[in-house]
Chain A
């Protein structure tokens, strides 16, 4: 693998629920303009780990994080760092599409822009159109930007959520099983979209679907029981894993 810039780096991250660790001592680099997949069976800590990367885990009941997460060299868990500012630079898409039901399609995409300033109409229009185009949704919604997002199909809603996430141009996009609630056609559309996203963003995707990880990621990390068992280039993880547990999982012997 060629040397790449690393905008995001997890160093010895441990995530706790109360005293119980859900993620144990994970260190992982996320090079820029790559897709990193995190795979593993249910309850292995992959989603919790993802939520440590944008300081969302600490908002869970009794959630706590140890270790460091470096965004362009700065630890996002430093005492002086405002988690709200961090979340503007590290966007997140969730398992279930969760557009804001009280806002129009347009307002949903513009929501992140309007958090800390009032963009001009022209600027907002431009950003919304670009985000919707990048999310491959523009042609389907351009004539009904003032409609409710709930009028969209599940797959369209998820692409709307992606547009909402990328509209403020974050550095990193986290996707937490973004297709697990979707039908195969919508899943394919999102997978193609993820490939496009890495041109502009550093992408981390959690998935329980190994074929998906194999199709769309550059590197893959396998989590099991809160530990990262193995991490490497996706092709290597799926064809010649070093660890026996990884091989057992990717060949479908458990999970």
Chain B
């Protein structure tokens, strides 16, 4: 029998080691994916890749300029529609959502959060594409916005709830009206977390493919008109990766690398943008 102190130390080391192992296992896929993308995709990345549109089938060269711009436009439009609604709903739930209505909204947001994205795509097809009579980037952006809203709502609510109640009381005791307490104190204190949640949602929808298949459709040409079908990196990857040409596969790997890099960039920018603004001394 080991002395108790030794036993404790061994057990502590063991458990620390196990949690470290779990952390490594959790991060391993990320590094594996990224390494794979760099190895297979980096060779496709050159200037042409960013400024040219795809070459005709069977030909070599070309790039994914149309898909990069299309992704930025569709994600931008989706964010412009989905983020204000999601953040607003989250603030409502955290600050005023104690009653029945709050419970209903929270439940519906959870249901929508669990809805497969392809079904949201069908919804957008039924309610936007069909009445308009044609596929469009806008319909895809609407589908992505619908996907974002519940994610952003729940993360925003969580973040605002984490702000200590004592700050609310401090503001109210100073004579802040309720809404001003919410906006100037609670939301502001929660803002870095809200932005992080919003960007996680942006990153998630940036790679969505299924809801775009029958809304945004894809386009081999360079388009900036949101009323027209548009290419995105995710659609480009889907089409190229399943196509018969070696050249397409090469472009698909490059597009995947660019998409991944964009998502990482969003995260880095978010961190920089929400850094604290205090000066020392």
Q: Does A238 contact B (CB under 8 A)?
A: no
Measured in the bound complex, the distance between the Cα atoms of B171 and A99 in whole Å is: 10
Known: A98-B167, A102-B189. A56 touches B172 (CB 8 A): yes
Q: Does A139 contact B (CB under 8 A)?
A: no
- Segment of B126-134, B213-221, B222-230, B272-280 in the binding face: B272-280
Q: Does B166 contact A (CB under 8 A)?
A: yes
> Smallest Cβ distance from A161 to chain B, in angstroms?
7
Known: A59-B172, A87-B172, A92-B173. A102 touches B279 (CB 8 A): no
Q: Are A147 and B280 in contact (CB under 8 A)?
A: yes
Q: Does B22 contact A (CB under 8 A)?
A: no
Which residue on B lies nearest to A108, using beta carbons? Answer: B170
**B167 cross-chain contacts in A, Cβ below 8 A:** 98, 100-101
Give the contact-size bracket for chain A. Answer: 20 to 34
Q: Does A231 contact B (CB under 8 A)?
A: no
Q: Are B174 and A98 in contact (CB under 8 A)?
A: no
**A151 cross-chain contacts in B, Cβ below 8 A:** 278, 280
Contact with B along A80-102 (1 / 0, CB 8 A): 00001101100110101011111
Q: Does A148 contact B (CB under 8 A)?
A: yes
Contact with A along B238-281 (1 / 0, CB 8 A): 00000000000000000000000000000000000000101111
Q: Which of B186-236 contact A (CB under 8 A)?
A: 188-189, 191
**The one of B170, B176, B279 that contacts A115, using a Cβ cutoff of 8 Å:** B176
> Smallest Cβ distance from A173 to chain B, in angstroms?
11
Q: Are A147 and B170 in contact (CB under 8 A)?
A: no
> Smallest Cβ distance from A188 to chain B, in angstroms?
24
Q: Are B281 and A143 in contact (CB under 8 A)?
A: yes
Known: A59-B172, A88-B174. A147 touches B166 (CB 8 A): no
**The one of B170, B172, B180, B191 that contacts A100, using a Cβ cutoff of 8 Å:** B170
Measured in the bound complex, the distance between the Cα atoms of B175 and A54 in whole Å is: 10
Which residue on B lies nearest to A146, using beta carbons? Answer: B279
Measured in the bound complex, the distance between the Cα atoms of B177 and A85 in whole Å is: 9
Q: Are A54 and B173 in contact (CB under 8 A)?
A: yes
Q: Are A56 and B169 in contact (CB under 8 A)?
A: yes
Most buried by B among A111, A147, A161: A111
Q: Are A115 and B188 in contact (CB under 8 A)?
A: no
Q: Does B185 contact A (CB under 8 A)?
A: yes
Q: Does B164 contact A (CB under 8 A)?
A: yes
Q: Are B175 and A146 in contact (CB under 8 A)?
A: no
Instruction: Report the interface size for chain B: residues with CB under 8 A from the other chain.
Output: 22
> Smallest Cβ distance from A97 to chain B, in angstroms?
9
Measured in the bound complex, the distance between the Cα atoms of B279 and A100 in whole Å is: 16
**B276 cross-chain contacts in A, Cβ below 8 A:** 148
Measured in the bound complex, the distance between the Cα atoms of B191 and A100 in whole Å is: 13
**B180 cross-chain contacts in A, Cβ below 8 A:** 115
Q: Are B169 and A84 in contact (CB under 8 A)?
A: no
> Smallest Cβ distance from B213 to chain A, in angstroms?
43
Measured in the bound complex, the distance between the Cα atoms of B176 and A84 in whole Å is: 7
Q: Are B169 and A98 in contact (CB under 8 A)?
A: yes
Q: Are A111 and B173 in contact (CB under 8 A)?
A: no
**A115 cross-chain contacts in B, Cβ below 8 A:** 174-177, 180
Q: Are B175 and A88 in contact (CB under 8 A)?
A: yes
> Smallest Cβ distance from B169 to chain A, in angstroms?
7
**A144 cross-chain contacts in B, Cβ below 8 A:** 280-281
Q: Does A186 contact B (CB under 8 A)?
A: no
Q: Are A98 and B175 in contact (CB under 8 A)?
A: no
**B176 cross-chain contacts in A, Cβ below 8 A:** 84, 115
Which residue on A lies nearest to B189, using beta carbons? Answer: A102
Q: Does A165 contact B (CB under 8 A)?
A: yes
Q: Which of A109-147 contact B (CB under 8 A)?
A: 111-112, 115-116, 143-144, 146-147
Measured in the bound complex, the distance between the Cα atoms of B180 and A87 in whole Å is: 14
Which residue on B lies nearest to A86, using beta carbons? Answer: B175
> Smallest Cβ distance from A174 to chain B, in angstroms?
8
**A59 cross-chain contacts in B, Cβ below 8 A:** 172
**A168 cross-chain contacts in B, Cβ below 8 A:** 174-175
**B188 cross-chain contacts in A, Cβ below 8 A:** 102
Measured in the bound complex, the distance between the Cα atoms of B173 and A88 in whole Å is: 7
> Smallest Cβ distance from A182 to chain B, in angstroms?
15
Q: Does A209 contact B (CB under 8 A)?
A: no
Which residue on A lies nearest to B176, using beta carbons? Answer: A115
**A84 cross-chain contacts in B, Cβ below 8 A:** 175-177
Contact with A along B143-181 (1 / 0, CB 8 A): 000000000000000000000101101111111110010
Seed contacts A88-B174, A148-B276; 9 additional CB < 8 Å A-B pairs: A56-B169, A56-B172, A85-B175, A87-B175, A91-B173, A92-B173, A102-B185, A115-B174, A151-B278
Could you give 11 example pairs across A and B, Cβ below 8 Å?
A: A87-B172, A98-B164, A99-B170, A111-B171, A112-B174, A115-B175, A115-B176, A115-B177, A116-B175, A147-B278, A147-B281
Q: Which 8 A-B pairs have the closest CB atoms?
A: A88-B175, A92-B173, A98-B166, A148-B278, A87-B175, A112-B174, A98-B170, A102-B188
